[in-house]
Structure 1
Amino acid sequence: MSASNVVAEAHGMTDETWKRHANPWSVWTRFAAIPVFELAVWSRDWIGWWSLAGVGAVLVWLLWLNVRLFGPVEPNSWAARGIYGEKLHFEGKAPAAHRIVLRLLMAAGMLGFALITWGLTALDVWPLILGTAVLVLCQLWRIDRYGLLFEQHQNATQQND
């Protein structure tokens, strides 16, 4: 079993859950959770250990509730096609060219995450903002790439039928 499948199973990602996760509301509210998470961590300077309540709430939202709250959708929007493509990637159906680009985007996203971590640890704004911008841009690009993967898979499937 691949690491991707382990992650998907850890989040309880069934076919139905993937369809719910593809809902644009699910996608965009996950992006909206990034600054909320950052604010929750930053708030430790103001409210001390109570900041963990905010961090916990955001993590529950991101890791469990978000992918179950919204209704299932078909791949009719940019965000939905991206998530359907992500599912294909998790299933090992991504060609090598896609996997290479996706790995590069994940590495760049991890650089953004490292900057965010630095900014939140040191309570320093510039690495936090730069890291957030890098992370969000990489994630948007990944979703776009996943959408391209989905469309190519759909075209190949239709040609074989």
Structure 2
Amino acid sequence: MTLERRIARVFNLTDDNWMKHANPWSVWTRYSVLPLIVFAFWSRLWIGWWCLIPAGAALLWVFLNPIVFNRPKSTKNWASKAVLGERVYLNRDIVEIPVIHDTPLYKILNTISFTGVMIATWAIIYYSIWGAVLGVALAYLGKSWYLDRMVWLYEMMKSRDAEYQKWDY
């Protein structure tokens, strides 16, 4: 079982929920989470422990976001293809992916994104605006590049597997 499949289980990404998560609204609003978390914890300076309420709401949004939207009317857009590509990638132990996609680049991009999150965390602790901006930007750079590679993977794989073809509408 791939690590990505384990993570998908934590987020309750069943077949139906994967398609809900492929809604562009799900993808684009998910980009709001990191800045909301940074701002929520940063607000402890002004509102003290009450900052846990917006922080908790932002963290709750992480788990609810993939399942609250309807299935997209079409999956012929970048955001939907990115999510479907992630699903293809997590299935790589079942359906073989092209060698060009069996690369350390994905781990590197996720490491860049994770490093950004760690810098943003440091910035929250030390109230560094530049650290927060750098951390969020780095996290989004790594994640967005990773998602773009997932679009490419999905485009390659949708014609090679009948199940993947069904997702293209």
Q: Report the TM-score, using the length of structure 2 for normalisation.
A: 0.87
Tell me whether 97-106 or 118-127 shows the greater mean CA deviation. Answer: 97-106
Partner of 1:108: 112
What amino acid maps onto 1:72 in structure 2?
R
Aligned residues: 158
Partner of 2:37: 37
Tell me whether 93-102 or 70-79 shows the greater mean CA deviation. Answer: 93-102
* Structure 1: gaps spanning 5 or more residues: none
Partner of 2:84: 84
Aligned-residue sequence identity (percent) comes to 34
Partner of 2:152: 148
RMSD: 1.7
Tell me whether 66-75 or 141-150 shows the greater mean CA deviation. Answer: 66-75
State how 1:6-155 maps to structure 2 within 5 Å. Answer: 6-63=6-63, 65-73=64-72, 74-92=74-92, 93=95, 94-98=97-101, 99-155=103-159
Contact 2:24 2:80 (C-alpha < 8 Å) held by counterparts: yes
What amino acid maps onto 1:14 in structure 2?
T
Counterpart secondary structure, 1:72: coil
- Report which of the two has the higher share of helix: 1
* Distance in 2 between residues matched to 1:123 and 1:6, nearest whole Å: 34
* Distance in 2 between residues matched to 1:20 and 1:119, nearest whole Å: 33
* Distance in 2 between residues matched to 1:95 and 1:49, nearest whole Å: 50
Q: Report the TM-score, using the length of structure 1 for normalisation.
A: 0.91
What is the deviation of 1:33?
A: 2.3
